[in-house]
Amino acid sequence: MDWEPTALGRLLTRAVPWRFELHGCYFSLTRPGSDTIAGHLSEIARAALAPGVFWSTCRFLLADGREAMVGGISNAQAARMQEAIDRATGESLAAALTSEFLERFSRWFDARIDEALPNSGEWAEPEQVDAVLAAAESVPSVGADLDLHRVLSHRLFSLPPDVDEATLAKLRSPRDVLLALQEAHDLALFSAKFREWREEASNEATSSGTRWWSHSATLRALARCPAPQHPARGWLLVPAMGACSSPVEVLEAQRETFNGVHLERERRELEKFFATVEKSPLTAEQIDAVVCFDDHELVVAAAGSGKTSTMVAKAGYALERDLCRPEQILLLAFNSDAAKELDERINSRLADTPGVDGITAKTFHSFGKEVIRVATGQKPMLAPWLEREGQDIHQMVDIVETLCTADPAFASDWQTFRVVLAQDIGRWDLPDDPEDWDSTSGERGFRTAQGEIVRSKEERTIADWLFYHDISYRYEEPYSQPTADLDHRQYVPDFYFPEIDLYYEHFALDANGRAPAHFEPGYERSAQWKRDLHARMGTHLIETTSHELRSGIAFDKLRAALIERGLAPVLNPHRAPERNPQVEGRELARSFRTFQQHVKSNGLSYGDLERRIEQQTKYGFEARLRIYLAIYRKLSDEWERRLRAGGYIDFDDMLTQAADLLDAGRYDSPYLVVLADEFQDSSNARARLLRGLMHSAKGPAHLCVVGDDWQAINRFAGADISIMSQFERWFARPERRMLTTTFRCPQDLCDASSDFVSANPAQINKRVSTTNPRTAPSLYVFAAASKDQLSQVVYQKLAALVRKLGEPGEWTADRRPFVMLLSRYGKFGRPDELDAWVAEFSSSIDLSFSTVHKSKGLEADYVLLLNMVEATLGFPCKIEDDPVLELAMPEADPFLFAEERRLFYVALTRARQETWLFTTRATPSQFVIELHKQGCLSTLEGEDAWEVPTPCPGCGRGLLALRFGPYKPFQGCSRYPQCEYTEPPRKDQVALATCPSCRSGHIVRRNGKNGPFLGCSGYRKHDCRWTSDIRAHALQMNRRGD
């Protein structure tokens, strides 16, 4: 077949004469003036036509890159030519792969496989493929005029029916297929080695007598049985590994499966042991915690969930399964009472176990002493001034007195801090909430030692410095010259010194002369106006700024200005204040003792404390912090000198020195099982001691710590909740177990308390259930009309409870009911009538009082939580930790009232039957309001339903309470003087205040012949003659917050 252009086509398209001939699988293209192109059709990569109106242009693209273009052929002829070329090309390409060729190629490729693949059990070498192909004879030819690669890569090539994809892959790239076969060989070899290793390592990990497969057993197995390594691939790329990215993860997955089977087997085989080791059978969660014997185990135990039983059972289980000897078990408790209880429970419940008396139960401090004794060869002596409570404060006071006598600079710092700097001035960038108010002027602010109210804490500090340096001053006395105009009121300088005619302004400006963001605009312009005014009037002005006061410059600047004008400030710490009593030396010494305990417990150096001060310098009172630290350094140095002189240690040394000795490898721990109680109260030193015990153990050791982060309430004593919440930062790869079944509280009390405390997202989440069958409401609230009536309401409800419990069938237990009164505070919370109540009800109930802190670990049938009011000394406590103590304390939880919430949770969960909250109608605790909003609070039958007071629209933080002004009642904010919002009372509030005389009527405003006065609404009904001067009563009631 041949094709060529038509005469007309050549004429009109000016095409040169050409001729294309097709003979079987060969072609030729001749053109005048050009070489003839001829060859096998596979050499034509593509014949492309571009049809025009009548004639087409034909473009031939050759495999070697050449190109030929011809034209002048009709569209129809061109289409037939392209179809013929494509059909003939396809047929010739398919015919090229003859059976004879395929057989020759197969023999050639099999020979290359034998040369490229290694022997069984050996890894392949990829470079061998290239060497084999280079040394081998060339790939068999498909024909004299054909190139195999060109055939297979041609666009018109289609796989013949008798050729499969695997053969095609070999034909296209023998090298790639040989490399793939090598990789398959290596993967098969690795999989075999992997299975062999996994079995060997698993057997090694479980070969010890612990039975439980621990994480450290995994690491030991890896050390003794190194994992196979693929020569070319990482573990993530090896299919046999599945989702495991390392040998450790492979064994850890095996470990999880193994331990699950082990746990179920132990449940069955030791069913009797778990049912009898304690008075009540262990729960499934307790058994899980007991059987788990990983390296580091954290047991999170809800209140009343039997953590002591779990610890006793774990010790018994270790002996039952011969995991260790009795003398290799150590139980550590937070205090001596808890250690004694553990020891008694161990010896009682495990009495039939041989050698049980060899188990050691100690406090952390007692054990620390033992470590020091063994490691140093000398028995440490506790300093004699620490043997009885309070003696350490006596010693600190003695050190203060000694230093004051010997060191005038120390005496000056001590007395200055005590009388001037004892109160912090807060953060510069935050507004001050007023703390007091003047009943005459109505001014709100801060009370000074001289007795006046000033506007800021900074001004109070300055005023107290002046007062205790015997400098006479007047606060905000009008300026000597009139200044009032259209833009300014009469100017009142901050301070004026009449003896030397000197004015003093203290501006709230930073180092750059800028005011805080919360100040009104124009403050900086106002400061400049005052400077200009003094310059214009020729009056003398000294000024200081917030930056100067906080950095320590201000007092030096003020002192120099006073001396220059003839006044010599001399500190007089013995001057009696008009208001605001001084901090007693003993109380300040107590502060430094507390600070010292935090410093030593947390292992802080002076350098650490300096760095912490740097973190507070931007907005804090740097000068105060530095004076405090300077005082502390001298006190601490003398304390330590006295310890060294007597060869003594203190309680903090018992822990820190023991931890140091453990870290230094000077104590070989004989203990393989260490159980620690109340872990939520752990300090840095306790955590270090436990970690050191694990590292120094002679053999695989097990640490089990038990605690409840919901009950972490001892930050003031050095406890750091992050040690429990971030347990893995201290102890690698821990196992966590939960004890969420309580044997104490009714379910509704569990739900209310759990929801309350877990509002803080940082708390470990758990849902608590109970074995207590009680279904009746268990959480009640009682609201007194005023604070003065709280004790009376408590007595009434207590008496009613005693009467109720005395009714037939009401109390069926074979013991007397136990009622516990709880308060946030001891001295200020203990009812004055408590002794009388105990005597009156002694024949019916057991009645006791405790602070919430001391009640931890206790339980009662009925718990009465007193003084649940919103106040500085309310619940929650509004007294913030002093920034100087923050320098040494563990980092606080940022959640609002986080520790107070946990403390309230402890209070709520002491009851087996009911918890009663006692508050006032006007100032209930925000915690009580929160429970009320959650629908958790009930009232007893016959009681009026308690209504939550209206939130203050002014500040949004206080509550509106009925108050009595000089002329009429009103509603005011419970946070006064911080907030001075008022509004008229509701009609149903006008007669709410209870008469203090008859206790049945209410205080009402009456009009008499001499003016208005207050009287009792029961004047006619009850003949109550109580009256009061309306102004005096208003002052008294407003101060009390009633």
Residues tagged in the binding site annotation for ATP: 301-308
SS3 string, 140-199, reads CCCCCCCCHHHHHHCCCCCCCCCCCHHHHHHHHCHHHHHHHHHHHHHHHHHHHHHHHHHH
Could you count the other beta carbons within 10 Å of the beta carbon of residue 820?
A: 22
Rg of the chain over CA atoms, in angstroms?
45
Burial class (CB in 10 A: 0-12, 13-18, 19+), 1037: buried
Element (H, E) at 737: strand 735-739
Burial class (CB in 10 A: 0-12, 13-18, 19+), 469: buried
| Helices 391-406/585-601 angle, 10° precision | 110
- 8 A C-beta contact, residue 787 and residue 829: no
DSSP assigned state of 231: S
Burial class (CB in 10 A: 0-12, 13-18, 19+), 263: middle
Cα separation, 1040 vs 675, whole angstroms: 50
User: How does strand 55-62 pair with strand 673-676?
Assistant: unpaired
Binding site residue list: 301-308
User: How does strand 453-454 pair with strand 474-475?
Assistant: unpaired
Cα 591 to Cα 22, 649, 716, 741, 899, distances in angstroms: 109, 20, 11, 40, 20
Q: Which residues are CB-contacts of 361 (< 8 A; sequence separation ≥ 6)?
A: 330, 331, 333, 339, 340, 342, 343, 346
Structure tokens at 68: 């030929």
- Cα torsion angle, 902, 907, 908, 909, sign: positive
Element (H, E) at 918: strand 911-920
Residue type, 1034: A
- 8 A C-beta contact, residue 815 and residue 844: no
- 612-625 in b/e form (b: 16+ CB < 10 A) is ebeebeeebbbbbb
Nearest alpha carbon to residue 366 among 380, 378, 386, 377: 380
Nearest alpha carbon to residue 419 among 587, 574, 552: 574
| Helices 651-663/684-696 angle, 10° precision | 30
Structure tokens at 28: 């030729």
- 8 A C-beta contact, residue 977 and residue 435: yes
- 8 A C-beta contact, residue 949 and residue 960: yes
Could you count the other beta carbons within 10 Å of the beta carbon of residue 653?
A: 22
Give me the phi and psi of 433, to 5 degrees please.
Answer: -90, 120
- ∠ at Cα 440 (436, 445), nearest 5°? 25
Length of the chain counted residue by residue: 1042
Task: For residue 977, say if its preceding peptide bond is cis, omega within 30 degrees of 0.
Answer: yes
Give the chain's count of helices (H) and strands (E).
34, 35
User: How does strand 495-497 pair with strand 474-475?
Assistant: antiparallel
Q: Which residues are CB-contacts of 1013 (< 8 A; sequence separation ≥ 6)?
A: 1005, 1006, 1007, 1027, 1028, 1029, 1030
Residue that is written with structure tokens 């500085």 in the block:
872
